[in-house]
Chain A
Amino acid sequence: MRRTKITAVIALVLAMLCVIGPMQAVLAASGSNTPATQSGDITGTVAEAIEILGDIKWNAYREMYADAEKYTGADITVDPGTASFDAQGDDASSISYNYDPKAVYDGVSCIVLPEIGEVTFKVNVPKAGLYSVSWDYYDLPCKATNIERTFRINGKVPFNEVRNLIMSKNWIDNYRYDENGAIVYDKDGNGNDRRPSKSQAPCWTSYTVCDPTGYYNGGFAFYFEAGENTITIEAQKEPVAIANIKLGAPETAPTYAEYKASIESKYSKAPADAYIMIEAEYASRTSDSTLYAVNDRSSAITSPQNPTYSVLNSIGGSTWQTMGQWIEWEFTVEKGMAGIYEIDSRFIQSEIEGLYVSRRLYIDGKVPFEEANGIEFGFDNAWQVATFGGNGETFEFYFDEGKHTLRLEVVYGNLSEVVSEIRTALNEINEIYIRILQIAGATPDSDTSYQFYARIPDDIVRMGELSTELSAISEKLKVIGGGAGSNSATIDNVARVLRKMSRDSEQQIAKQFAALKSYIGNLGTMLNNIAAQTLQMDYIVVKSADNGTALRADGNFFENIWYEIRRFISSFTTDNSSFTSVTEAGEDAITIEVWTTTSRERTQLIRALVDEDFSAKNPNIAVNMKIVAAGTLLPATLSGKGPDVMMDVAQSDAINYAVRGAILDVSGYNGYDELASRFHSSALAPLTVALGSADGHRAVYGVPQTQSFDVMFYRKDVFANLGVNVPSTWDEFYQILAKLLSRNYQVGIIVPKTAVPSSLGFYVSLIYQNGGSLYKNAGTEIALDQDAALTSFTMLCDFFNLWSCPVTYDAANRFRTGEMPLLIADYISFYNQFTIYATELKGLWGFTSIPGTRNPETGEIDYSNVSTIQAMVIMKDAAARGTDAASFEYLKWWMEEDIQGEYANELVALLGPAGKYNTANFNAFNAMPWSASELKALNNLYTHLKGYPEMPGGYIILRYVQFAFTDTYNYGYVPSESLLDRLDAIDGELARKRKELEDGKDVSRSFFIPSDADSQ
């Protein structure tokens, strides 16, 4: 039955994944889809998108210049003296490196390119033809993200792939060595290995302009006319220093046969005792901070292994799967051991069923031969050992004495062609899908005549062709995977539906539409799956072919049993929920207990920061950390066993506890004013109340930790195709809404829902924009009967009742398919989810503030946007224990800019781009690896943020607002009446709570909204 459930859930998920996959689509494919030519009033990111949509792809470019001559002469060096810099009007005040044409790094004179603007070089080309372009770069230390640049020739982007050139950075682990020079890991308080921190280790790297998406092996060849040309390198992300720009002959590596012949003629085999073991977790360099040693518990013989503690014994896994990520190891060939070697490795590849994952092998920074571009690692659920080879042959390498490096980089290998073909086909199908959607809507009716043959004749012919193309791809995949599998079946399904739709009657198009949607959803998911080249490695062995040491894939029966038994026994003695300090605290130290509800990984990071920084600064405060379940705080407090500091408390909970006297007011502690200055006023508003009366003493119950708010996400490509700007006021929003709806697109609006407490925020934003407030009479009564609140509520309900915006929807899916190109959603969670969910859409979506309301009298636009926070609070027990001042020191320390910045960077390092952390510390938030344009949008937003006050009984508001809303949706009630009907119930609860809490108690229970708050 459980299985049925899983199958059903999967079926559902698949059914709902509509058009997955690259919408880059709308750009690449056929010429039939040139964006509407625009008059000059399109601005900003939409204008950019229009430009991108006009690009051609590398395939087309290559064909265009198929007859051009390849340059074969010596390299042509570009004179750095011709460089000119243009900041393009971007704000140059906050950048980390300035443009500097005469910089010197590591003894190389170079040009520093900041993270904004573009630099242009002039170059004289002697002869028209195809050239490769290469340069050396130095990865200036900055944020934890790749360097990205756009490449132009004579002011134009030659083809789409060079819009986002990626240059990886160099990262090293800060290992600690014991007296013998071996690497040792620090231990945490529980005896588990602690991952060493990573830092950037810039060095000079040579780079040839090549495909950042990994579909095409080797460098690109660009066509240059004879005479003077310009080369422009435009910043997207991160500063970089470059030198030595050259135009040269497009080069190719020798084949393995040639390489083998060349080494075998000169050298002999390495001696039989040549055996060099490289533990994969001891990488010497990596391309990303996320490539770190991980713990494997699945096998008894992973080296090293420990049944009790978590030891770092392998590298890679789910973080080593994205195109271009590499790991490099160093090893030394001892004296007298030079000769011909083979390379073995122990690894696990259990992700891509029935197919290979591939790695490009570099020896000493070079791909030794053509075949090394795709070393294959087969599929198995267990660990495997294998020798590097291909075509049934073991690869041999020559190593002379001394130090060598070995680097493995993620590539698609022999899948690249298939993946790129599927992706292109999928793009086209998606486009056709959207065009049918625009004619017939999401659920077409097979009895209606939509006149498809008259309206989209080309598409119908194209569907037939695509069907044939897909069948061919499926055949190829069968050859690669050694027979039919689920992957080729997925492709066959799409091919079948397309064939039906193009060949049979017009009714079939409507009839098969739903099937097409679910099948291309599957296809997109499959593509994402096989594109993730996940591989985890235990060790690499470089040895002589004569060496007899046998490598084992897994332990024998007894080893495994013994390992499992010891693991089982140790599970009784290990406490994984508490994180005690590694250092012994002094005699007179105060110990504070800190509880958090966040994940294990995050707690480990906090713990590490406490040990490194807090303990050093506050030697007489010891910190004990514990992970607890969310509901534990109340019973623990009741029994007096509660913590001193609780982290990650929702703003409503903080006030709920505070009003019952369970939380201490932090405003009186030493250094509070400085602490408060680190936050935007909107972050403190929900925690601040006035006691006794609206002008009474202000108490602040907790310190903001994270802050989240709503923004409007939009698909640039769709807007470009429609030829409209992104709306900035609600008036404009309605115009766009009408336009989108007429083409069968949808728009996502936030529905008030009790299950999502922050969903009240959007409604309150509207109220504030209309000049209203949530409460009146200093928080004792609800102000939903005021004009502003009623207008806003009508506006909110009309989105669903008049404009038919969906109430329930999977936002990420529909945004990805393009079905819902405009969407209001919580900023940080949607951003994080979407960045990794739809990597293929990079650059084709953006976000901006939610629209504002124009004041009819003054003409000013109010962009008020409500934020909600999570807080850290000090529990009242701390005062009795005498640990409150120490607890406050902890809060103060944790919200420091440096600490928050470091934590945010560590999270990105740990979780990748999806690990963005919405710290409430404004400066730390800015310092995260945002792109320049994202940062601009965020800074704009920040100034308009507002917090709404929390009052006793406030939980009732969202509940009744939801009831009022569903009544208008279900029964067509008039929104304002429906809301007014609920007012008594809300006011009743507010009054009752106030009475209960104030009854016979002192002034500390009568919470009021400070006179200058709540938007008024």
Chain B
Amino acid sequence: MTMWQWTWKEMKRNYIAYVMCLPFFAIFTLFTIGPVLLSMFFSLTIFNMVEAPKFIFLENYSRLFLDDDVFLLAVKNTLIFAVITGPVSYFLSLFVAWFINELPPKIRAVVTLIFYAPSISGGIYMIWSVIFSSDSYGYANAILMELDIISTPILWFQNASYVMPICIVVALWTSLGTSFLAFIGGLQTIDKAQFEAAAVDGIRNRWQELWYVTLPNMKQQLMFGAVMAISQSFGFGVIVTALAGFPSVNYCAHTIVHHLEDYGGQRFEVGYASAIAVILFVIMIGSNTLVNKMLEKVGQ
């Protein structure tokens, strides 16, 4: 019996399970796997969304890497964003969750809400555009002018020196999202008996307790949080667009997602945009694998 025959036999035997996951699988294929494959195909073509695509092999990719300065800038910006906001927001979520978990239940509920609120209330980050308004009546400009530090208003979101730092701060501010909630949930599912056992086994301080007991017990949540943090840090072009406009001045906060929007939405070059998407896809898969490997080391 070959492996295929064996698989077929097993499938026939467990057909009910397959029937049960069929609806999800059909939808997943149609709306997730399909588009991914389709964009891989389109990335090898010139396609303007009105006429039939024209096959050009890897020309889009060669242009991306060899003849598109803005793309390389976008990769650089994306990596800066991802490297800073990803880990920072991840550890921030973890530690805030850990501290909050120590609070009495009622206070914990209130504090959780306070930290979680910025990320549930949609476009709340727009408040930052009020603070950093380019008008002389914007808060930041008004205060700086009051203190005589500047004499003409600074165009915060139209000055390449300020756009990135402000966007990173805002991204961090909104990043205590779903993963933070998952961490709190994870912390609460840990069996108290394990802490007692660990104490008997000679745990000396809270750090050891965290490393050897708490974290290994919430690996699933950690993984979930990591995936969320990665996809968030690669995909938060929305915040940049809302604050600094599209495109940001001198492409100073242009990320891969922006580049994709630029070509797909404004220039009608869907083939080229698909190539960008494929590269983003590869980067994300890669960093997920990397994080997965790192998480395996937790508690060892």
Contacts and interface: CB of A to CB of B under 8 A. Distances in A.
B46 A996 contact: yes
Interface string A6-47: 001100100110000000000000000000000000000000
Contacts of A955: 266-267
Interface residues of B, number: 38
Given A1-B121, A754-B245, A962-B249, A808 B49 contact: no
A807 B249 contact: no
Interface stretch (A399-407, A606-614, A655-663): A655-663
Contacts of A953: 267
Interface string A783-822: 0000000000000000000001011111000000000000
A277 interface: no
Contacts of B126: 5
Contacts of B49: 634-635, 638
B250 A967 contact: yes
B142 A963 contact: no
B133 A808 contact: yes
Contact of B130 (A8, A807, A809, A810): A8
Given A1-B120, A963-B249, A963-B250, A660 B135 contact: no
Contacts of A660: 48, 50-51, 268
A1 B135 contact: no
Nearest to B269: A996
Given A5-B121, A15-B137, A970-B160, A754 B247 contact: yes
B146 A806 contact: no
B117 interface: yes
B283 interface: no
Contacts of A963: 249-250
Contacts of A9: 130
Nearest to B121: A1
B194 interface: no
A657 B142 contact: no
B145 interface: yes
A966 B50 contact: no
Interface in B106-157: 117-118, 120-121, 124, 126-127, 130, 133-137, 142, 145-146, 148, 152-153, 155
Contacts of B269: 996
Interface residues of A, number: 41
A480 interface: no
A637 B247 contact: no
Nearest to B69: A985
**Which residue of A660, A755, A808 has the most chain B CB atoms within 10 A of its CB atom?**
A808
B246 interface: yes
A1 B127 CA distance: 11
B159 interface: yes
Nearest to B130: A12
B39 to A, nearest CB: 15
Contacts of A8: 127, 130
A860 B107 CA distance: 77
Contacts of A266: none
B158 interface: yes
B160 A1 contact: no
Given A5-B124, A16-B137, A966 B249 contact: yes
Nearest to A996: B46
B246 A966 contact: no
B246 A754 contact: yes
A563 B46 CA distance: 55
Interface string B242-257: 0001110110000000
**Which residue of B130, B133, B159, B161 has the most chain A CB atoms within 10 A of its CB atom?**
B130
B135 A808 contact: yes
Contact of A443 (B51, B145, B246): B145
B245 A755 contact: yes
A2 interface: yes
A970 B159 contact: yes
A1 B118 contact: yes
A808 B268 contact: no
A103 B90 CA distance: 85
A969 interface: yes
A482 B158 CA distance: 51
B135 A966 contact: no
Contact of B134 (A2, A12, A807, A993): A807
B153 A806 contact: yes
A442 interface: yes
A12 B158 CA distance: 21
A744 to B, nearest CB: 12
Interface string B26-63: 00000000000000000000101111000000000000
Contacts of A807: 134, 153, 155, 158
Given A634-B49, A657-B50, A955-B266, A966 B250 contact: yes
A334 interface: no
9 contacts: A2-B124, A5-B121, A638-B50, A662-B50, A806-B136, A807-B134, A959-B247, A969-B155, A993-B267
Interface of B: 46, 48-51, 117-118, 120-121, 124, 126-127, 130, 133-137, 142, 145-146, 148, 152-153, 155, 158-161, 245-247, 249-250, 266-269
Question: Which 6 A-B residue pairs are closest in the complex by CB-CB distance?
Answer: A808-B134, A1-B121, A1-B117, A660-B50, A808-B135, A970-B159
Given A1-B117, A442-B136, A635-B49, 4 more contacts: A8-B130, A443-B142, A755-B245, A807-B158
